[in-house]
C-alpha cells in the first residue's frame, strides 16, 4: 500500500470523517494531506499530464467534501477517493481537449510540494536492466486507463478485491478477470515492443 | 522494444510482481506531490460564502492559520524510533508535573475564580487574523484580513469605508498563507509608517514591507520591501510583527513547513526561517540596519537573527511593561509551547527541531543547549497554541499582569501570572472558552484585550461578572 500511511496515534480516517461532517474543516484538511499523494498518483495514471493531474487532485477533494453526507464509512476512504479521482481526472481531460498521454511529469521547483514517498514495487524491479525497465514502463503506458487503474488498485495501493471493486465501480467478481486481462495485454505489448 | 525471454527476466516474472513493477516504475516518474490542501480549503471556504445555506456556521470557518500536516512517512519512522526513549520522556513529564504542582500554589491562588468572557463588538470580517492599534491616541483598532486588507475600526466596531491598505491582488491567501502580520511604527502618529508581513502571490515567498499612511490610506505603489524570504513549503509561515521596547521591529518566521522541519531551518544559523528576527527600521542603512544588541550581532548566525529554534511562532507579543517578549510556538506532534525572551536577552535557541516543548524531538538531543519553554501542553488539551498578551489595561484590574493565551482547536483560554512566566515557574489556569476558532489576540491603546475569531468576529475580553 502506498500514499496513505500515517503515524501511530493519528486519528483513523473514520474519526476524521465524523469530525469533518460535524463541521471541523481542520479534520478534512488532515484527510486531504493524508490522501493527496494517492489521489495525485491516480489522477496522473489517468491523465498522464502534470497540470491536469494537479487540477484533478484539487477537484477530487472539493467534490469529496461536498459528497461527505453520502459517504458510507464501510466503503473505505481510499477506495472512495480513488473512484472520485478517476471521474474527476477524466473530466479534466475532456475539458482540456488534451491527448491521453503526454510527456514525462514537469519538475517544478516552486510552490508547495512534498517529496514523493517510497514505492514498494520499485524494490521488485531490482535486477531488471534499464532496457527492461523501459520496456515494461512503455508497455504499461500504452495500456488503456481502465487497465492501468485495475493494476494500480491491486498492486500499487494494495486494495482488497472488494475495495478495488468499490474504487473501480465494478462488481467484485469482475476485478480479478479484468486484472488478468490487463496483465495479458501488458505482456502482449511488451512482446510486441 | 521487444524483450527476449530469459530466466528471471520480465517474461518469466509472476503476474503480481510484473504488475507491481509496471505501475511503480510509471508512478516513480512523479518525484513530488503537490500540497493541494490550502487550495482545497480555500475553495471550500468560497463555497461556504457562496452557498451559505449548505453550511452551518461552524463549517464556514476556513482552514486554520497554523494547521499541521499529518506526519510524513519519515517522521512516522522517527516517532517509532522515539518509542525507545519514551520512558525517559515520561520521566521528564512526571518530573515537570511534580515541579508544576509544587509551584502551582501561587498561580492557583491568584487566579482562583478568575473567568473571562468574550463580548462581540463586530462581525463580518473576511478571515480576520489580527487586531491591533497604532498607538496614536486615535482610539482606532486595525483588523487584518488574511486575503489582504487592513480595516480601521472604532472601538465599538464601526468599520471605515475604505481600508488602510489593500494587498488582495498581490497576496496568496489560503491555508496558512496570506496577509498575516501588521505593526505600526512607534512614531506612527508623526510619520504614518507601518509594516506588514504577507505571502506573495506567485512564488509564495514571505515579504516584510513598509508602507506610509496618509489621511488614513496607504498607497499600494509606495511599498518598500525589507525582507523577501523564500518558502520551501506552504505551511509554517510565521507572520507575527511587533516593535520591541527599544523601537526595533521583531519578525517571527516559521521553519518553512512540511513536517518535522526537514530542512533543519530552525537550527540553521544561515537561514532566516524558524527565527525571531530584529531589524532597525530607522537606521541609515537600507533596507534596514542591524541593532548592535541583537542576539547574534557579534557572530554565530546571520546578524538580523535575535533568537533561533522556532517552529511556527504564529503569534508573539511584547509586554509594554518591562519589554519581555512572549512567543506562542506551534508544536509538531506532541507539545504546544509559550516561550519567554526577556528584554535584551537575544542569542537564545528555543530548541526546534532538536527539541519540541520540554522533550527531545531528535533522539539524543542536548536539552541543556536550548531554552526550555515557559509553558507547554500536550495534544490532549489542544493542537495549536495562539500566543497571547499580558493584560496592562485598567478597566479590569483582576487581569493585571496576567498573560492570556489560548488554543485554536479547543478554544480553551488560559491565564498565567507574568512574573511566574519570567521566573520559569508558571502554571496555566483555564479561565474561559471561546466559541469558534481563536486565531489571535490584540490590544487597544488603553491595553484592553481583544480576541479574533476566524469566522469574522472581534471580541472584547472581559472578566466574567461574578
- Alpha-carbon dihedral angle through residues B218, B223, B226, B231, given to the nearest 10 degrees: 100
Name the residue among B411, B251, B359 with its Cα closest to residue B315. Answer: B251
Distance from CA of B175 to the nearest CA of A (A): 9
According to DSSP, the residues that pair with B441 across neighbouring strands are B451
Of B2, B23, B71, the CB nearest to A140: B23
Residues in B touching A111 (Cβ below 8 Å): 34, 203-204, 234
Asked whether the beta carbons of B371 and B381 are under 8 A apart, the reply is no
Interface test with B, best of A12, A29, A192 (most B CBs within 10 A): A29
Q: Please give the grid coordinates belonging to residue B444.
A: 487597544
Residues in A touching B76 (Cβ below 8 Å): 5-8
- Alpha-carbon dihedral angle through residues A83, A89, A95, A96, given to the nearest 10 degrees: -170
Residues in B touching A58 (Cβ below 8 Å): 36, 39-40, 43
Is domain B116-463 in CATH 1.20.200.10, yes or no?
no
Please tell me the distance from the alpha carbon of residue B120 to that of residue B450, in angstroms, as a whole number.
9
Predicted confidence (pLDDT) at residue B32 exceeds the cutoff of 90: no
Mean pLDDT of chain B: 86
* Chain segment A124-177, per-residue pLDDT in tens: 888 888 888 889 999 999 999 999 999 999 999 999 999 999 999 888 889 999
Contact B25/A22, CB-based, under 8 Å? no
Distance from CA of B387 to the nearest CA of A (A): 19
Peptide bond before residue B287 is cis, with ω within 30 degrees of 0: yes
Least confident segment among A62-66, A127-131, B181-185: A127-131
Asked whether the beta carbons of A107 and B251 are under 8 A apart, the reply is no
* Chain segment A13-33, per-residue pLDDT in tens: 998 998 888 877 888 988 999
Residue spans of beta strands (DSSP E) within B244-281: 249-252, 275-279
Please tell me the distance from the alpha carbon of residue B306 to that of residue B246, in angstroms, as a whole number.
14
* Chain segment B290-323, per-residue pLDDT in tens: 999 999 999 999 999 999 999 999 999 999 999 9
Edge to edge, what strands does the sheet with B457-463 contain?
A: B116-122, B457-463, B449-453, B438-443
Please tell me the distance from the alpha carbon of residue B137 to that of residue B140, in angstroms, as a whole number.
8
Q: State the pLDDT at residue B57.
A: 34
Q: What pLDDT band is residue A8 in, cutting at 50, 70 and 90?
A: low
According to DSSP, the residues that pair with B133 across neighbouring strands are B141
* Chain segment A84-105, per-residue pLDDT in tens: 999 999 988 888 876 555 444 4
Q: Which residue is listed with cell 503480481?
A: B16
**A107: contact with B, CB 8 A cutoff:** yes
User: Which segments of chain A does DSSP mark as H helices, in order?
Assistant: 13-21, 25-47, 50-66, 77-96, 120-123, 130-141, 145-155, 161-168, 172-192
Q: What pLDDT band is residue A7 in, cutting at 50, 70 and 90?
A: low
Residues in A touching B40 (Cβ below 8 Å): 28-29, 32, 58, 61-62, 65
Q: What pLDDT band is residue B223 in, cutting at 50, 70 and 90?
A: very high
Q: Which helix (H) or strand (E) holds B431?
A: strand B429-433
**A66: contact with B, CB 8 A cutoff:** yes
Q: What pLDDT band is residue B108 in, cutting at 50, 70 and 90?
A: low
Residues in B touching A132 (Cβ below 8 Å): 3, 9-10
Contact A29/B63, CB-based, under 8 Å? yes
Q: State the pLDDT at residue B38.
A: 82
Predicted confidence (pLDDT) at residue B92 exceeds the cutoff of 70: no
pTM of the model: 0.61
Of A28, A30, A124, the CB nearest to B17: A124
Asked whether the beta carbons of A59 and A88 are under 8 A apart, the reply is yes
Query: Which carries the bigger pLDDT value, residue A86 or residue B101?
Result: A86
Residue spans of beta strands (DSSP E) within B267-411: 275-279, 305-308, 315-318, 325-329, 335-341, 348-349, 355-356, 359-360, 375-378, 385-390, 402-407
Please tell me the distance from the alpha carbon of residue A7 to that of residue B370, in angstroms, as a whole number.
27
Q: What pLDDT band is residue B91 in, cutting at 50, 70 and 90?
A: low
Please tell me the distance from the alpha carbon of residue B417 to that of residue B103, in angstroms, as a whole number.
12
| The length of chain A, given as a count of residues | 193
DSSP one-letter code for A11: P
Residues in B touching A182 (Cβ below 8 Å): 19
Residues of chain B with CATH 2.120.10.30: 116-463
Q: State the pLDDT at residue A22.
A: 81
Q: State the pLDDT at residue B63.
A: 40
Please tell me the distance from the alpha carbon of residue A138 to that of residue A154, in angstroms, as a whole number.
20
Asked whether the beta carbons of B325 and B373 are under 8 A apart, the reply is no
Please tell me the distance from the alpha carbon of residue A29 to that of residue B41, in angstroms, as a whole number.
7
* Chain segment B363-421, per-residue pLDDT in tens: 888 999 999 999 999 888 888 999 999 999 999 999 999 999 999 988 999 999 999 99
Q: Which helix (H) or strand (E) holds B21?
A: helix B15-27
Q: Which residue is listed with cell 514523493?
A: A116
Least confident segment among A119-128, B432-441, B451-460: A119-128
Contact B30/A30, CB-based, under 8 Å? no
Residues contacting residue A19 through CB under 8 Å, at least 6 positions apart:
A11, A26, A27
Q: State the pLDDT at residue B73.
A: 41
Other C-beta atoms closer than 10 Å to the C-beta of B286 total 8
Predicted confidence (pLDDT) at residue B163 exceeds the cutoff of 80: yes
Residues in A touching B28 (Cβ below 8 Å): 116, 119, 122
> Using only C-alpha atoms, what is the Rg of chain B?
24
Peptide bond before residue A91 is cis, with ω within 30 degrees of 0: no
Please tell me the distance from the alpha carbon of residue B155 to that of residue B449, in angstroms, as a whole number.
11
Q: Please give the grid coordinates belonging to residue B185.
A: 511604527
Portion of chain B with pLDDT greater than 70, in percent: 84
Contact B36/A54, CB-based, under 8 Å? yes
Please tell me the distance from the alpha carbon of residue B362 to that of residue B374, in angstroms, as a whole number.
20
Amino acid at each position: 500500500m502506498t500514499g496513505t500511511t500515517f503515524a501511530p496515534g493519528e486519528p483513523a480516517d473514520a474519526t476524521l470523517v465524523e469530525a469533518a461532517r460535524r463541521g471541523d474543516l481542520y479534520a478534512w484538511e488532515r484527510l486531504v494531506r493524508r490522501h493527496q499523494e494517492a489521489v495525485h498518483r491516480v489522477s496522473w495514471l489517468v491523465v498522464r499530464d502534470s497540470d491536469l493531474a494537479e487540477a484533478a487532485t484539487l477537484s477530487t477533494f472539493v467534490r469529496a467534501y461536498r459528497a461527505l453526507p453520502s459517504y458510507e464509512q464501510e466503503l473505505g476512504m481510499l477506495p472512495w477517493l480513488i473512484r472520485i479521482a478517476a471521474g474527476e481526472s477524466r473530466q479534466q481531460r475532456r475539458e482540456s481537449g488534451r491527448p491521453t498521454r503526454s510527456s514525462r511529469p514537469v519538475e517544478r521547483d516552486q510552490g508547495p510540494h512534498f517529496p514523493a514517498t517510497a514505492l514498494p514495487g520499485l524494490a521488485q524491479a531490482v535486477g531488471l536492466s534499464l532496457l527492461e525497465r523501459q520496456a515494461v514502463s512503455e508497455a504499461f503506458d500504452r495500456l488503456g486507463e481502465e487497465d492501468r487503474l485495475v493494476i494500480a488498485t491491486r498492486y500499487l495501493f494494495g486494495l482488497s478485491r472488494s475495495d478495488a471493486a468499490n474504487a473501480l465501480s465494478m462488481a467484485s467478481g469482475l476485478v480479478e478477470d479484468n486484472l488478468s486481462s490487463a496483465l495479458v495485454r501488458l505482456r502482449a505489448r511488451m512482446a510486441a515492443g | 522494444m521487444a524483450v527476449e525471454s530469459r530466466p528471471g527476466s520480465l517474461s518469466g516474472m509472476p503476474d503480481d510482481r510484473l504488475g507491481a513493477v509496471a505501475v511503480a516504475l510509471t508512478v516513480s516518474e512523479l518525484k513530488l506531490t503537490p500540497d493541494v490542501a490550502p487550495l482545497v480549503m480555500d475553495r471550500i471556504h468560497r463555497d461556504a460564502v457562496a452557498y451559505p445555506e449548505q453550511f452551518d456556521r461552524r463549517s464556514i470557518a476556513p482552514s486554520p492559520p497554523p494547521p499541521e500536516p499529518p506526519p510524513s512517512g519519515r517522521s512516522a519512522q522517527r516517532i517509532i524510533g522515539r518509542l525507545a526513549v519514551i520512558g525517559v520522556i515520561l520521566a521528564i513529564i512526571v518530573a515537570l508535573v511534580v515541579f508544576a504542582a509544587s509551584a502551582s500554589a501561587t498561580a492557583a491562588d491568584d487566579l482562583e475564580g478568575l473567568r473571562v468572557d468574550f463580548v462581540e463588538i463586530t462581525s463580518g470580517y473576511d478571515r480576520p487574523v489580527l487586531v491591533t492599534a497604532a498607538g496614536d491616541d486615535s482610539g482606532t483598532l486595525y483588523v487584518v484580513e488574511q486575503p489582504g486588507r487592513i480595516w480601521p475600526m472604532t472601538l465599538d466596531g464601526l468599520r471605515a469605508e475604505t481600508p488602510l491598505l489593500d494587498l488582495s491582488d498581490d497576496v496568496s491567501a489560503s491555508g496558512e498563507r496570506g496577509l498575516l502580520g501588521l505593526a505600526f511604527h512607534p512614531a506612527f502618529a508623526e510619520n504614518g509608517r507601518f509594516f506588514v508581513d504577507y505571502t506573495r502571490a506567485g512564488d509564495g515567498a514571505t515579504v516584510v514591507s513598509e508602507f506610509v499612511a496618509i489621511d488614513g490610506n496607504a498607497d499600494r505603489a509606495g511599498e518598500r520591501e525589507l525582507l523577501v524570504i523564500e518558502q520551501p513549503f506552504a505551511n509554517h509561515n510565521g507572520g507575527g510583527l511587533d516593535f520591541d521596547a527599544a523601537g526595533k521591529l521583531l519578525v517571527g518566521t516559521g521553519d518553512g513547513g512540511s513536517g518535522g522541519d526537514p530542512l533543519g531551518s530552525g537550527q540553521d544559523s544561515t537561514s532566516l526561517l524558524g527565527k525571531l528576527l530584529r531589524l532597525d527600521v530607522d537606521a541609515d542603512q537600507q533596507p534596514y540596519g542591524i541593532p548592535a544588541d541583537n542576539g547574534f550581532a557579534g557572530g554565530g548566525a546571520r546578524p538580523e537573527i535575535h533568537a533561533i529554534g522556532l517552529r511556527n511562532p504564529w503569534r508573539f507579543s511584547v509586554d509594554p511593561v518591562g519589554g519581555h517578549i512572549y512567543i506562542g510556538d506551534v508544536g509538531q506532534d506532541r507539545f504546544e509551547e509559550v516561550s519567554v525572551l526577556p528584554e535584551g536577552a537575544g542569542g537564545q535557541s528555543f530548541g526546534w527541531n532538536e527539541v519540541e516543548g520540554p522533550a527531545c524531538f531528535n533522539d539524543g538531543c542536548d536539552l541543556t543547549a536550548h531554552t526550555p519553554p515557559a509553558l507547554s501542553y500536550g495534544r490532549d488539551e489542544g493542537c495549536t497554541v495562539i500566543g497571547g498578551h499580558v493584560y496592562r489595561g485598567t478597566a479590569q484590574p483582576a487581569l493585571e499582569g496576567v498573560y492570556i493565551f489560548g488554543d485554536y482547536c479547543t478554544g480553551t483560554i488560559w491565564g498565567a501570572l507574568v512574573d511566574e512566566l519570567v521566573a520559569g515557574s508558571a502554571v496555566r489556569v483555564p479561565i474561559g472558552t471561546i466559541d469558534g476558532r481563536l486565531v489571535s489576540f490584540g490590544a487597544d491603546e488603553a491595553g484592553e484585550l481583544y480576541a479574533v475569531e476566524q469566522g469574522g468576529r472581534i471580541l472584547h475580553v472581559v472578566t466574567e461578572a461574578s
